[in-house]
Amino acid sequence: MLSQNISKVLQSWYSQHKRDLPWRHTADPFKIWISEIILQQTRVNQGLGYYQRFIERFPTVVSLASAHEDEVLKHWQGLGYYSRARNIHKTAQYIAEVYNGKFPTQHAEILKLKGIGDYTAAAISSFAFNQPFAVLDGNVFRVLSRLFGIETPIDSTLGKKEFAELAQQLIDKKDPAHHNQAIMEFGALQCVPVQPDCAVCPLQQACKAYELDLVNVLPVKASKTKVRDRYFNYFDIEFDDQLFIQKRTAKDIWQNLYELPLIEADRVFELDEIPQLELFATAGVVEIDANPLTVKHILSHQRIFARFFKVRVRVLPENLRDLISIKREELENYAISKLSSVYFEQK
């Protein structure tokens, strides 16, 4: 099947099956950019509400640029991968300063913006400005790999080059926005990762994977992500009705978010270890909750095993005097990690 025919089939299918999503009703590059960043690590049904709330609070580049980072992170809370929020905030400030608040229109300029890679630049360029740059995300990799029977690993240098060239060959240069939306939606709804319904696929006759019984084999990945285990011991310290939190400043997971005092170790602690910790050496520990909450939190590169200890003390430990002291009801004003949210939702 010729490339132009494939694009026509995809666009015809899209016209009948596309989901009604707010970012598909705008050519505003700012709103398209925000939607794409949210959807990088988030399912559409989960990201939709976050997108609507974010755009309601920050409707323009300038409004986002002028906001405090803490507020941006608070509106991002629950989405995870907070480097995305920090990047869009810094990029908005850059656009406000360098481009006078107007989003750049050229693909090459968009690609230079912090936090924007090949896929996002192509998406913004095509959806906002109808420029012929092919998108290449996980859905598109899967569609192309199966359709053309390509066994080159999609995470290899050769594979990325091969798929990028193929995607660009297929794009409808007269209507790149419609084509890009169509092929991504096709991968999201029809050519799904597991057990796609090939019987109703409009591209079945052209699909090499279907012909060669490789649908459940393709696409191929060369490597698996190495996952690191980490152990977090959090302390909810009760003293004079205060709640003590700290801001993570290291360039690590949850940077600039707030959390309870933490000791990261090579294991999660047991109850009898707590009074012996240097943290509580001058505290006069009165009571430790006998049922600490234990949570396992899985990220793309990390498995975090966390345990939350509620500790009542007579004296505030010296090494906690620099922490932020708030009332518990004030916690809603601070951006905290998903892991911390799990704990506070149960307390």
Catalytic residues: 36
Residue 230 token pair: 């980490």
Residue 97 carries which side chain, given as an amino acid letter? E
Pairing verdict, β 293-298 and 324-326: unpaired
Identify which of 307, 245, 300, 244 has the alpha carbon closest to the alpha carbon of residue 273: 307
Instruction: Report how far Cα 33 is from the mean position of its chain's Cα atoms.
Output: 13
Helix/strand number for the chain, H first, E second? 13, 8
CA dist., res. 223 & res. 220, Å (int) = 9
1 close to 206: Cβ distance less than 8 angstroms = yes
Identify which of 83, 102, 9 has the alpha carbon closest to the alpha carbon of residue 41: 83
DSSP state of 149: T
Identify which of 39, 40, 41, 35 has the alpha carbon closest to the alpha carbon of residue 54: 35
Pairing verdict, β 302-313 and 228-238: parallel
Residue 214 token pair: 């490789």
Residue 39 carries which side chain, given as an amino acid letter? L
Return phi, psi of residue 229, to 5°: -90, 135
Q: Please tell me whether residue 280 adopts helix, strand or coil conformation.
A: helix
CA dist., res. 90 & res. 34, Å (int) = 13
